[in-house]
């Protein structure tokens, strides 16, 4: 992997941390990259990038660290202290790139932590609801047993007392669980708000970085062909982060009418991967109305019976929108497709949606999609049927 000489101490320390993680995993770089592609695509790592991270030539984006820690957890115990050490080393290395870059890294890490916290809360909530269902079934069974004892001449006072005590214990437990469910539901709402605030802060920081970079080496132009050539030049030099940032700027700032020219420019210089990356960036940054305009079908001869069709990149944008677009824009885009007579193009959104991992509850709540269109990872809806109030009047069982 080469020497770490020539790097500043912070960059060398983080690169060494990554090397130690690789050694502890006991896997080759090829095996690690393959696992990351299958299990943590958000880390966006290929063999070339991993080599650059291990050599200290560039810093990975924050999603790589939790992915490696998760992989390590699958192969053995992970020391929480070491996890904290990894984040601290990454922050220190990012700080050497300047305060704006350091802020971006911290905000990305915060967003990751908030999303992980939301997942844990949702899992705990699902477990609590399952336990409530079980306890309610127990309560029903106990009440039935008490009724049987009461009706049987051979029933004893001791049997009644034992069953009553057990029934009271179950009722108390149901009260506790219902309180915990209410708290977890409130916590999820707060965590969702926290994640939205963190997302806004990250977007604002990213925007400031882009403004700074426009005067610091990023060759910005409104000419799609020139942008395509500049992105390709960055890739050829191994400057993938610069290429991605330029692509993100183009996806956000070019007029919608110019974006098809950028797709064509990448095709002209034989860069088949860039349209996928461009579609990803567009889906995350553009409004629903822009996505609708960008993906409008190719016009056909009015005399022809052949229906209008989408360009390959238009279906690609819809697919990316299903997977990556903010939930609000995805829901609005779905409605706009229906209102403009393009309901059949929802199939591309749905194909992407089935790979989605975030905002599924909000999307499901919109009722724009059939439950079968969604991944089976949404939080189960709370019960709406009325249940007996465990705090209500108690049934007393006794024999005379």
Q: What is the pLDDT of residue 398?
A: 33
Q: Who's near 226: CB < 8 A, 6+ residues apart?
A: 219
- Describe the chain by its helix, strand, coil percentages, rounded to 5: 70, 0, 30
Q: Taking the chain (400 residues) in consecutive chunks of 10 residues, what is each chunk's mean pLDDT?
A: 74 89 85 88 82 84 82 72 83 86 86 85 93 94 86 76 90 94 94 88 82 58 85 88 87 89 94 95 94 82 62 92 93 94 91 90 90 71 45 38
The C-alpha torsion from 13 through 17 and 19 to 20, rounded to 10°, is 130
- Which among 86, 84, 89, 17 is positioned nearest to 54, based on CA atoms? 17
Q: What is the pTM of this model?
A: 0.47
Residue of 166, 161, 176 lying closest to 142 (CA atoms):
166
Q: 86, 38 in Cβ contact below 8 A?
A: no
> What does the pLDDT read at residue 1?
55
Exposed/middle/buried for residue 189 (C-beta within 10 Å: 0-12, 13-18, 19+) = exposed
Q: Of 130, 140, 122, whose CA–CA distance to 177 is shortest?
A: 130
Give the Cα-Cα-Cα angle 76, 80, 83 (nearest 5 degrees): 90
* pLDDT recorded at residue 216: 53
The candidate with the shortest Cα–Cα distance to 10, out of 115, 112, 119, 89, is: 89
Rg (CA), the chain: 28
- The confidence score (pLDDT) of residue 195 equals 86
CA pair distance 328, 288, nearest whole angstrom: 9
Residue 308: DSSP 8-state: P
pLDDT at 145: 87
Q: Where are the alpha helices (DSSP H) in 77-98?
A: 80-95
Residue with tokens 């790979």: 355
Instruction: Quote the pLDDT of residue 307.
Output: 59
């Amino acid at each position: 992997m080469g020497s770490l000489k020539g790097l500043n101490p912070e960059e060398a320390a983080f690169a060494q941390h990554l090397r130690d993680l690789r050694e502890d995993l006991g896997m080759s770089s090829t095996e690690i990259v393959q696992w990351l592609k299958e299990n943590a695509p958000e880390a966006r790592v290929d063999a070339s990038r991993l080599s650059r991270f291990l050599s200290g030539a560039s810093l990975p984006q924050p999603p790589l660290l939790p992915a490696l820690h998760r992989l390590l957890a699958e192969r053995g115990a992970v020391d929480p202290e070491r996890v904290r050490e990894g984040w601290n080393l990454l922050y220190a290395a990012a700080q050497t790139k300047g305060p704006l870059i350091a802020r971006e890294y911290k905000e990305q890490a915060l967003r990751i932590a908030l999303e992980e916290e939301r997942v844990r809360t949702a899992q705990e909530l699902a477990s609590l609801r399952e336990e409530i269902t079980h306890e309610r079934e127990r309560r029903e069974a106990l009440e039935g047993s008490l009724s049987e004892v009461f009706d049987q001449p051979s029933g004893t006072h001791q049997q009644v007392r034992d069953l009553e005590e057990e029934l009271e214990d179950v009722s108390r437990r149901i009260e506790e669980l219902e309180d915990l469910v209410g708290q977890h539901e409130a916590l999820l709402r707060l965590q969702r708000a926290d994640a939205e605030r963190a997302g806004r802060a990250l977007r604002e920081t990213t925007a400031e970085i882009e403004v700074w970079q426009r005067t610091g080496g990023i060759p910005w132009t409104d000419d799609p062909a020139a942008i395509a050539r500049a992105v390709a030049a960055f890739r050829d030099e191994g400057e993938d982060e610069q290429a991605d940032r330029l692509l993100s700027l183009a996806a956000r700032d070019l007029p919608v009418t110019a974006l098809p020219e950028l797709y064509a420019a990448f095709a002209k210089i034989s860069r088949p991967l860039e349209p996928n990356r461009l579609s990803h960036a567009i889906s995350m940054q553009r409004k629903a109305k822009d996505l609708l305009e960008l993906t409008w079908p190719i016009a056909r001869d009015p005399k022809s019976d052949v229906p209008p069709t989408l360009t390959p990149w238009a279906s690609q944008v819809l697919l990316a929108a299903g997977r990556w677009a903010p939930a609000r824009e995805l829901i609005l885009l779905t409605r706009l497709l229906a209102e403009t007579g393009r309901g059949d193009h929802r199939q591309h959104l749905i194909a992407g949606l089935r790979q989605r991992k975030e905002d599924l509850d909000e999307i499901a709540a919109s009722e724009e999609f059939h439950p079968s269109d969604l991944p089976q990872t949404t939080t189960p809806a709370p019960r709406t049927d009325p249940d007996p109030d465990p705090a209500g009047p108690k049934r007393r069982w006794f024999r005379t």
